[in-house]
Amino acid sequence: MSEPVVVHGYLRKARETSIEGLAWLDRLPDLVEEACRRWDIEIAGPPYEGGVCGWVAPVRGAGGDAVLKVSWPHTEAATEAVALGWWGGVGAVRLLAEDRDSWTMLLERCTPGTPLRDAGRPNRHGLAVGAEVLKELWSKGVPPGGEPCFVAMAHVCDEWAEDAERRVAQLGAALRALGTDPSILTLGIELLRLLPRSAERQVVVHGDFNPGNLLAASRAPYLAVDPKPMVGDPAYDPWSLVAQLDWPFRLPDAGSVVSRRIRWLAERLDLPAERIAAWGVARDVQGGLWMATERNTAVGARWIRSATITASMLS
């Protein structure tokens, strides 16, 4: 290993909140050194910033340039390598090697690696890029029996719904005082339970398809990274793209902008627009409740209000 292990502030701050996280940070230099020996690679630059659940840095070895990722052990990352292996480079970076015991992966490096959110192109370009990558990922379908297994979306969403109900009981009064309509909370939780069970198609979804997880590459315009895979409704995936390309809910005409984006993507992905919108409501209620209890109640309330705007698309 030619470079010391530097841990950027976002990752350190996120992991310093628990004893387990502190222990992992203490072990991180050894995990990186072990990976470098295992795969005969050297650190080739500073770690990438922004992530809070893993240490990621460019590396170089006999096989050329790559990326080393050491994940903080958590449920969402448990099958990341499995998903990348399942896609086999179709729409996503290639998995070059992995060590499951240490939660480390050697990945294809994207060059130039600019995230879609920083591309400086019109939002329609970003939607078009995302739609093409999603179609590639979904084209693989789901593994047949006996092949790699992924968690069922229905199981994950049931857990989210139960957690959301607990958070409503805890913070319902405070949210109402901030102008939150209780009916949107009820609707969002109902949709978390309903949508996974009413899907007409099943795929391995990316699970976190935001514009920061799409990187400009040389062998394809963009490739997906950092999946949180589940098997379930493909209409789950587009929402992060809709909501995080320049954060349209801050705009005065947010409802119109979001509606246009949803309908544009629905046509190109052959999905019902109302279903994409319904996932937007469900996910913004779930995410807003988490934010309200874990971080900032007022910010969580604003997040939930975005679900009210999207809900206008539901019949």
Q: Could you read off the pLDDT of 171-205 as tens digits, one per residue?
A: 888 898 888 999 999 999 999 999 999 999 999 99
Q: Could you read off the pLDDT of 100-114 as tens digits, one per residue?
A: 999 999 999 999 999
pTM of the model: 0.93
Q: Could you read off the pLDDT of 58-103 as tens digits, one per residue?
A: 999 988 999 999 998 988 889 999 999 999 999 999 999 999 999 9
pLDDT at residue 11 in the model: 81
Q: Could you read off the pLDDT of 200-245 as tens digits, one per residue?
A: 999 999 999 999 999 999 999 999 999 999 999 999 999 999 999 9
pLDDT at residue 148 in the model: 67
Assess contact for 163 and 288: CB atoms under 8 A.
Answer: no
Question: Cα separation of 220 and 120, whole Å?
Answer: 18
Confidence band for 273, pLDDT divided at 50, 70 and 90: very high
226: Cβ contacts below 8 Å, ≥ 6 apart = 51, 80, 208, 213
Assess contact for 101 and 205: CB atoms under 8 A.
Answer: no
Domains of the chain: 9-108 (3.30.200.20), 121-311 (3.90.1200.10)
Q: Could you read off the pLDDT of 22-54 as tens digits, one per residue?
A: 888 889 999 999 999 999 999 999 999 877 888
